[in-house]
Structure 1
Amino acid sequence: MFEIIMYLFESYIQVDQTMELDTQEVTDELMQEGFQKSDITKALAWLDNLANMHSQEPQTRATAEKKTSHRIYNKQEQRQISLECRNYIHYLEEAKILTTHTREMVIDCIMSLDSGELILEDVKWLILMVLFNDPVSDDAFLQLESMLMDFEDGLIH
């Protein structure tokens, strides 16, 4: 399912975020690419859920964001999110790229993939998708995108 989400992010979402997609047309295209219909349905539902997470009221978000919060991962989250990935999420929060709200969105998105443990590179792209789809996180998205692209080009600051 994660491969489908990445494919859609690279093909559609990143290009034009205002573009309306025809679900049947996208499903047909993905099936032609060799993806299974059940995985396509799950991926589209996951993306729908991501979009709904961003529709939360600003006041509710502000209340949820506590400056002194500390995240304790439950056993299921620890099994699905490696220590390396949890440390990276914490690093981004300390760097003010993730807020407590976007951190929780990232964790929810990882857990809803229900695909076992993801590698750090996959989690980085997932975080980028979460920030890209959040109208409040434009600066954070650009910061993370820059970090990821500089790292891929071999430029480490």
Structure 2
Amino acid sequence: MIAFAFEPRAEDVLWSPDRRPENLDRPEHPEPTGADFSLSYFRADVRLVVHGVDLSLCTPGLPVVDFALMLEYARRELETRSDIAVETSVTQHVFSLSRGTEAVTLTTNYAPGVAELTWPELWQLTDRAKAEAFRLITTAHPELRDNAWLRGTVGASPAA
């Protein structure tokens, strides 16, 4: 079983519906960009337990979109490679994945455990991380459902 959740950081004021996510330093384009979502906005802790191996990550600096896109990149690369190490953009936490014939092995540079999951489980985890990032962000800020970048990267349905 895989347990996964983002836990929004209380100190990140952008989770508040009262705080509009905009960049006042860019008056010509105040709407959030891909860089804003990936590097700055909507920070959370990650709860991740893969078949009993706890790979949870608590850090005030991890945007949910960054984590979701990191997982998606790793999964895509594993389709043509046997192993890959990917890093979160802001916090430099490393996830190393190796593809075997029946399972994918997942290790990190911050937790001692070694987790194994099936290829379909990795797909499901990736889709779930993207969907949860989109859901959390658009629950806090429904107007962001119309943000083309956010919708196109983490908001697209898995079947799309």
Regarding TM over 0.5, the answer is no
More strand, by proportion:
2
Q: What is the TM-score of this pair, normalised by structure 2?
A: 0.28
Q: What is the TM-score of this pair, normalised by structure 1?
A: 0.29
Greater relative CO, 1 or 2 (CA 8 Å, sep 6+):
1
